[in-house]
Amino acid sequence: MANLLLHSLKEFDEIIFALLERAKPRSVLEIGSETGAFSDRLMRLCEDTGAELVTVEPEPAPHLIERALTSERFHLYKGLSLPFLEGVGCRSEFVLIDGDHNHHTVFHELMLIERAWAAQGIEGTILLHDVGWPCARRDAYYGPGVIPPEALHAHSYEHGTTLDRNELIAGGFRGCGAFAWAKHEGGPRNGVRTAVDDFLREHPRFVYNAVDAVFGLGAVTVRGTKAQRDVDEVFAPYDNALIRRLERNRLELYLKVIELQDALDAERARHAPANDASPAIETAWEVAS
Domains of the chain, by residue range, sit at 9-147+184-240
CA angle, residues 254, 255, 259, in degrees to nearest 5: 120
Assess whether the previous peptide bond of 148 is cis (omega < 30° from 0): no
- Which H or E element spans position 211? strand 206-211
SS3 state of residue 220: strand
Q: Global pTM?
A: 0.92
Cα–Cα nearest to 284, from 249, 248, 260: 260
Contact 180, 155 (CB under 8 A): yes
Provide the residue-wise pLDDT of the chain in tens; the chain has 289 residues: 456 677 888 899 999 999 999 999 999 999 999 889 999 999 999 999 999 999 999 999 999 999 999 999 999 999 999 999 999 999 999 999 999 999 999 999 999 999 999 999 999 999 999 999 999 999 999 999 999 999 999 999 999 999 999 999 999 999 989 999 999 999 999 999 999 999 999 999 999 999 999 999 999 999 999 999 999 999 999 999 999 999 999 999 999 999 999 999 999 988 887 665 544 434 443 434 3
Where are any strands of DSSP class E within 11-133? 27-31, 52-56, 74-77, 94-97, 125-129
Q: How far apart are CA 275 and CA 192, in angstroms?
A: 44
Separation between Cα atoms, residue 77 and residue 55, nearest integer Å: 6
The answer to whether residues 70 and 43 touch, using CB atoms and an 8 Å cutoff, is: no
- Of 128, 94, 134, the closest CA to residue 200 belongs to 128
Reply yes or no on domain 9-147+184-240 having CATH 3.40.50.150: yes
CA dist 103 and 121 (Å) reads 26
